[in-house]
Structure 1
């Protein structure tokens, strides 16, 4: 997958110095990851052996898709389909079909806007933004957490 990203989402085609993140070339397009795992959902938690799925998703969803300007939709994850009964797989596929029918109306995930960073200071979070979030329980996003606990499901559900 990384090889595909590297060959297709290239400088000049998918992004430029001036066209990235919310100003990106694909700012009017939506993107979503859909995949299966070989492990149960509990194994992709903050205490699970595979680690928090939100942390796994951050580099792909922010560092690649959002970087190119895409409005990133919550991923469609099928947890360990090879370990569940066929009826449960049928239910999963039906839920996927229903989601696809409403995909164009889905709200994208939230990322910290580009104008919250100071380009003159190495794209660090502006002091006023940092201050605004100082008293909040969680960081802004998985990657911009301000040394606080990660916002739950920030890379898996819109509106959190």
Structure 2
């Protein structure tokens, strides 16, 4: 019997919110003994089609990724515009924001999660796929991000 809502149980990413992506990525690179990754801005709303709480959003963030075997560590420094990143950083400070799972059938997974009381907070597109942040704090005590990559 498989009643797993997402269709898998493999965490692919942990996302951390930071105030200074340059300093934090340098600290992680030194700690892990790896090269510091370059950070980049998320796409603008015209390309990313970002929505936050059901409304179009111009919010962007600087991102840096550390590939750590089967798990990826994502550092996120949001701009000043309202977003799940900015609101969470303002409310809770730096630290964990989400755990992410790769999924197939994003629209169906979002609908299934919403049917189970886990609402869509923010979604958008990136080169090669799309993401959705789901409000799973009440039941799971952390936000879940769904990642769907194009084949």
Shorter-normalised TM range? under 0.3
**Structure of higher RCO (CA pairs closer than 8 Å, 6+ residues apart):** 2
Q: Larger Rg: 1 or 2?
A: 1
TM-score, length of structure 2 as denominator length: 0.26
